[in-house]
C-alpha cells in the first residue's frame, strides 16, 4: 500500500531532523528555518468553496493551537518590518493570512480571531468589495479598527505573469488607494493572485509604497527570505490533525517543500 502524504511528510521530517543533527545540528537548522505564513481562503461549515474552505471548528482549533504553543502571531506588515530591520527572526513566528476577502471571513473567522487575539491579514480584491459573497466596506473598516490588517490582493485578480508592467502598476496602485480610502490606514503588503509574479513586480511594488509581497509555493528550491516573494503554507480542509498542523507550523515546512521540488527536477 502506498504511504499517505502525511506519513511521507512525517518520514521526511524525521530524516531531515536526523540529517540536521548529523550535519551540525543548530547551525543547519538555522539555515532551514522559514517563518510559518499560513494561507487561508474561506472559513465556512458548508464547504462552499470546496478545497479552499475550512470549517469553523477546525479554524478555531488551529488558532487555539498557535496560542497554546506560544507562537508569536504577527501581521503581514509586522513581518515585513521585522525582515527589513535585519534582526534575527524569532523561531516561533506565525502569520495568519486570508486571500480574496470573502464575506465568511467577517461572519465566521473574525469572531475566532477576536477570541484568540490574532492580528490576521486579509488580502482583498478591491474590485470585488461589496459584491455578493465578498466583504463590504463597512465590514472591512470594522475589522481594520479591531486590529486586522486589510491589505491588497489587486483590483481584478489577474494572473500577473500575463499582465504588462502598466497593467500590474494599475492593479498595485489602484487597489492600494481604494483600500486605504476605506480603512484610513496605509496598505503595505500585496498578495499575488494565483501566486504568479514577474521580474517587474518587485520594483513596481516598492515604488508604490509596498513593503512586501506574498506568493504561494513557487516550484523552486530557494528558501531565502525575500520580502517581495514571501512563501506561504496552504491550510487545506480536512479534519484538524495536530500532527499535520504541527509539521506545517514547524518553521521547516517551506524547506521541506523546496527540497521536494529540487528532488523532482
Instruction: For Zn ion, give the closer residue by CB, 157 or 170.
Output: 157
Instruction: For Zn ion, give the closer residue by CB, 121 or 250.
Output: 121
**Which long-range contacts link 133-141 to residues 24+ away (Cβ below 8 Å)?**
133/102, 133/103, 134/100, 134/101, 134/102, 134/103, 135/101, 135/102, 135/103, 135/105, 135/106, 137/182, 139/103, 139/106, 140/101, 140/179, 140/182, 140/183, 141/182, 141/183, 141/184
Instruction: For Zn ion, give the closer residue by CB, 100 or 256.
Output: 100
Per-residue cell: 140 = 472591512
Instruction: For Zn ion, give the closer residue by CB, 193 or 251.
Output: 193
Of residues 99, 104, 149, 171, which one binds Zn ion by CB under 5 A? 99
CB of 11 to Zn ion, least distance (A): 32
Of residues 44, 100, 104, 171, which one binds Zn ion by CB under 5 A? 100
Number of residues engaging Zn ion in binding (CB under 5 A): 3
Of residues 20 through 59, those in contact with Zn ion by CB under 5 A are: none
Of residues 174 through 233, those in contact with Zn ion by CB under 5 A are: 193
Q: Which residue is nearest to Zn ion (CB)?
A: 99
| Residue 116, SS3 per DSSP | coil
Note the residues at the interface with Zn ion (CB under 5 A): 99-100, 193
Amino acid at each position: 500500500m502506498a504511504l499517505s502524504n502525511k506519513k511521507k511528510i512525517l518520514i521526511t521530517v524525521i530524516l531531515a531532523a536526523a540529517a540536521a543533527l548529523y550535519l551540525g545540528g543548530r547551525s543547519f537548522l538555522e539555515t532551514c528555518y522559514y517563518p510559518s505564513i499560513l494561507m487561508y481562503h474561506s472559513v465556512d461549515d458548508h464547504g462552499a468553496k470546496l478545497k479552499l474552505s475550512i470549517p469553523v471548528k477546525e479554524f478555531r482549533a488551529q488558532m487555539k493551537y498557535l496560542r497554546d504553543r506560544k507562537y508569536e502571531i504577527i501581521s503581514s506588515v509586522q513581518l515585513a518590518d521585522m525582515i527589513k530591520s535585519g534582526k534575527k527572526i524569532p523561531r516561533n513566528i506565525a502569520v495568519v493570512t486570508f486571500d480574496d476577502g470573502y464575506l465568511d471571513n467577517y461572519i465566521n473567522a473574525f469572531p475566532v480571531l477576536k477570541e484568540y487575539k490574532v492580528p490576521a491579514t486579509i488580502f482583498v480584491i478591491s474590485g470585488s468589495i461589496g459584491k455578493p459573497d465578498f466583504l463590504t466596506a463597512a465590514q472591512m473598516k470594522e475589522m481594520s479598527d479591531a486590529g486586522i490588517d486589510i491589505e491588497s490582493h489587486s483590483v481584478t485578480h489577474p494572473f500577473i505573469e500575463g499582465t504588462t508592467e502598466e497593467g500590474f502598476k494599475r492593479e498595485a496602485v489602484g487597489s492600494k488607494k481604494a483600500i486605504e480610502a476605506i480603512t484610513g490606514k496605509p496598505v503595505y503588503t500585496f498578495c499575488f493572485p494565483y501566486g504568479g509574479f514577474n521580474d517587474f513586480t518587485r520594483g513596481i511594488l516598492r515604488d508604490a509604497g509596498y513593503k512586501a509581497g506574498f506568493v504561494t509555493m513557487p516550484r523552486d528550491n530557494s528558501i531565502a527570505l525575500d520580502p517581495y516573494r514571501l512563501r506561504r503554507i496552504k491550510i487545506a480542509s480536512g479534519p484538524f490533525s495536530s500532527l499535520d498542523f504541527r509539521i506545517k507550523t514547524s518553521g521547516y515546512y517551506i524547506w521541506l517543500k523546496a527540497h521536494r521540488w529540487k528532488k523532482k527536477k
